[in-house]
Amino acid sequence: MSANSSNAFPNATPVWFITGCSIGFGREFARAVLARGWRCIATARNKAALDDLAPEAGERLLCVSLDVTDPAQIAAAVAQARERFGAIDVLVNNAGYGYQSSIEEGEETQIRAQFDANVFGLFALTRAVLPVMREQKRGHVINITSVAGLAGFPGSGYYAASKHAVEGFSDALLAEAGPLGIKVTCVEPGPFRTEWAGRSLVQTPNRIADYAETAGARMQRTAEGSGHQPGDPARAAQAIIRIAEVESPPRHFVLGAFGVDAVAARLRAALADIETWREAGLATDFPAGE
């Protein structure tokens, strides 16, 4: 698959709106965009965290304070983007964080807070940007979900649920907005060497012994493996640039060997279930003619 920037971006310097740019993926995405000479709205809850992002970018970089759970800040950020650049070619919904616990030990306040950031905040920002893209008759919404958005793992049930929600939302968004020239991609990373486990992860400790070898063990591995993950965020950023440049980007883009293998195995297992139970499933329809 070759990049074709002339087809994907009518503007020589497309405008990217990227959330969660203080650390990790978001920061690497913004750096990669600016290194191409493109324009970028980089957001973070603490705008000061972006001061050293790319001082050489000048007027091509707009740094904005944005908590995606705050509707007023969303409206203000999109308004600033339109005022500065007049367009938004790519929206990268990257802001969010992880929450780990066993299902039974999950805390209601933590679960709801995660959905506010990972799901409802993403929904709200996308709604705010869609009028811009509809007016342009073009755009690309890139939602950073996770391998957990396609396959559940012990200890990550609520995180997976938040990412599954974004995947379903993205299917519907593409069906509605695709005919209007708006593309939709979900990026599903596996383990990457970001600050996710150290700074963007909340855990409810496992205290029920029955879950020690499932949720408890995986939560421990996640914490201990921080800094040793195989995925390279800078290479991921270049991969995102590549899919944004092509005329027909993928709906799903799984990153990293662990992710590709885990998702492929999960989908093969799902298809095997469907085929095994095909006749029983088909038999639940009314007979033909009734």
Per-residue pLDDT tens digits for 42-87: 999 999 999 989 888 899 999 999 999 999 999 999 999 999 999 9
Segment 18-43 mean pLDDT: 95
Structure tokens at 269: 């297992």
| pLDDT class of 9 with cuts at 50, 70, 90 | confident
Distance CA 140, CA 129 (A): 11
- The CA-atom distances, in angstroms, between 228 and each of 100, 170, 214 are 19, 31, 21
Maximum Cα interatomic distance, the chain, rounded to a whole number of Å: 70
Q: Look up residue 244 and give its amino acid.
A: A
Exactly one of 99, 158, 159, 211 is catalytic; name it.
159
Read off the DSSP letter of residue 179.
G
Domain chopping of the chain, boundaries: 13-282
Residue 159 a catalytic site member: yes
Distance CA 165, CA 236 (A): 23
70 alpha carbon, distance to own chain's centre: 19
pLDDT digits over 106-135, tens only?
Answer: 999 999 999 999 999 999 999 999 999 999
Kindly state the helix (H) or strand (E) to which residue 273 belongs, with its residue range: helix 257-276
- The CA-atom distances, in angstroms, between 286 and each of 78, 121, 252, 282 are 50, 41, 35, 9
Classify domain 13-282 by CATH number. Answer: 3.40.50.720
Rounded to two decimals, what is the model's pTM?
Answer: 0.92
- The CA-atom distances, in angstroms, between 269 and each of 187, 262, 286 are 21, 11, 28
Q: Look up residue 21 and give its amino acid.
A: C
Distance CA 88, CA 14 (A): 8
Q: Output the pLDDT for position 222.
A: 84
62 alpha carbon, distance to own chain's centre: 21
Distance CA 128, CA 59 (A): 23
Q: Give first-to-last CA distance, the chain, whole Å.
A: 48
Length of the chain: 290
Read off the DSSP letter of residue 46.
S
| pLDDT class of 231 with cuts at 50, 70, 90 | confident
Q: Output the pLDDT for position 3.
A: 42
Inter-residue contact 89 to 9 (CB < 8 Å): yes
Q: Output the pLDDT for position 4.
A: 42
Query: Crossing angle for the helix pair 233-245 and 24-35, nearest 10 degrees?
Result: 50
| pLDDT class of 6 with cuts at 50, 70, 90 | very low
Distance CA 2, CA 274 (A): 34
Q: Which long-range contacts (CB under 8 A, 24 or more apart) does 48-56 make?
A: 49/21, 49/22, 49/23, 50/21, 50/22, 53/21, 53/27, 54/30
Distance CA 281, CA 274 (A): 8
Q: Look up residue 187 and give its amino acid.
A: V
